[in-house]
């Protein structure tokens, strides 16, 4: 395993982070525990979760993933070996069963304390805002459009002040963003600099061969402002494995079970995926590992969040750390990207 440092900290994290959002729905508690055991044995010390998980979000699955991690901590005593990240859910119909007051001070406190109880821990290393309160382009929206119905008023100072109180209480250590835009990142950094408030150290956004929109504005932000990308969906919900090509719907696969997760599937995304599958085959390597290695090796990526529903998938994903993409493969990837740039939002 290779390691990086969370920006503005002395915390070493594995370049591959274990994503957990299927535990409690597609995966059982026992399977989640087995994944954590294996990941730790392979040198992974960074786990990412959220109060909203398991997905798809529902009242029945709310908090289940954190509970599974909590029972593993209690059973193994390994809390001190793990850098733990979690998130507060944002507003929306999707999460109305959780709360409807966004990132109000009482909402943030309720979310943090609820996560701590479920996780059976006294602190969370990295606490993230799962998505913005304001109406903007995230979760598959390609570009910003002004929304006259957006009632959000800038509360970023208040959010940071609330998070500062929780840091001072020892309940969280550091803070990060998720599904953010360049404007959002700079607004948070500006408020921190001008008012001596905690600084956002990371941003968890989608990044994969099918969606490289992070490179347009946020990659420069990562490098110049030292805010690390925690890349999610590096396999585009498994689409980049090629298993959905030709209209296939494998039994038990995420897009088979949950058609609403069609963000990375269909149209030019399928055409691009076939080209990436062919490129990997031409070089006699796994397309899954090629796609993950592409993310692993980008300089703005602090950690690559992988997720798996089977142990076979988990093993293949983690082994991507050993793959070093040569110049010819990089050129092949860029040629496909130039032909079909960002086919999935």
Active site residues: 53
CB distance 160 to 191 below 8 Å: yes
CB distance 285 to 323 below 8 Å: yes
Rg of the chain's alpha carbons, rounded to an integer? Answer: 19
Angle at 225 between CA 219 and CA 226, to 5 degrees: 80
CB distance 27 to 308 below 8 Å: no
Residues 6+ apart with CB under 8 A from 64: 23, 24, 25, 53, 54
Q: Record the tokens describing residue 280, joined without a space.
A: 């990997």
Q: Record the tokens describing residue 59, joined without a space.
A: 């009242």
Distance, CA of 154 to CA of 18 (rounded, Å): 33
Q: What is the DSSP-derived secondary structure letter of residue 15? A: S
Backbone CA torsion sign across 245, 251, 252, 255: positive
Give the total residue count for the chain: 345
How far apart are the two ends of the chain, measured CA to CA in Å? 30
CB distance 301 to 207 below 8 Å: yes
Q: Record the tokens describing residue 78, joined without a space.
A: 């390994």
């Amino acid at each position: 395993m290779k390691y990086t440092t969370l920006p503005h900290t002395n915390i070493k994290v594995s370049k591959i982070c274990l994503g957990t959002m299927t535990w409690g729905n597609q995966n059982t508690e026992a399977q989640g525990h087995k994944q954590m055991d294996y990941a730790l044995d392979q040198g992974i010390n960074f786990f990412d979760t959220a109060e909203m998980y398991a997905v798809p979000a529902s009242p029945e699955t709310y908090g289940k993933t954190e509970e599974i991690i909590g029972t593993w901590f209690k059973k193994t005593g390994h809390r001190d070996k793990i850098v733990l990240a979690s998130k507060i859910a944002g507003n929306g119909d999707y999460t109305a069963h959780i709360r409807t007051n966004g990132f109000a001070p009482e909402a943030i406190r309720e979310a943090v304390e609820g996560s701590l109880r479920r996780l059976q821990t006294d602190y969370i290393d990295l606490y993230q805002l799962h998505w913005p309160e304001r109406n903007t382009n995230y979760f598959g929206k390609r570009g910003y459009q002004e929304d006259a119905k957006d009632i959000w008023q800038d509360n970023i100072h208040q959010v940071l002040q609330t998070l500062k109180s929780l840091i001072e209480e020892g309940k969280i250590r550091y803070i990060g963003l998720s599904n953010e835009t360049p404007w959002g990142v700079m607004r948070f950094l500006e408020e921190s600099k001008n008012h001596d408030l905690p600084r956002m150290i990371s941003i968890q956004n989608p990044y994969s061969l099918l969606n490289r929109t992070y490179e347009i504005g946020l990659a420069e932000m990562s490098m110049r402002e030292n805010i690390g990308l925690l890349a999610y969906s590096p396999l585009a919900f498994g689409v980049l494995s090629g298993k959905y090509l030709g209209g296939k719907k494998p039994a038990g696969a995420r897009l088979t079970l949950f058609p609403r997760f069609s963000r990375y599937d269909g149209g030019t995304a399928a055409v691009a995926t076939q080209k990436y599958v062919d490129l990997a085959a031409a070089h006699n390597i796994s397309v899954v590992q090629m796609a993950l290695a592409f993310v692993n090796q980008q300089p703005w990526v602090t950690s690559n969040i992988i997720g798996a529903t089977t142990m076979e998938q988990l093993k293949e994903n983690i082994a991507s750390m050993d793959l070093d993409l040569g110049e010819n493969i990089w050129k092949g990837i860029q040629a496909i990207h130039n032909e079909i740039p960002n086919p999935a939002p």
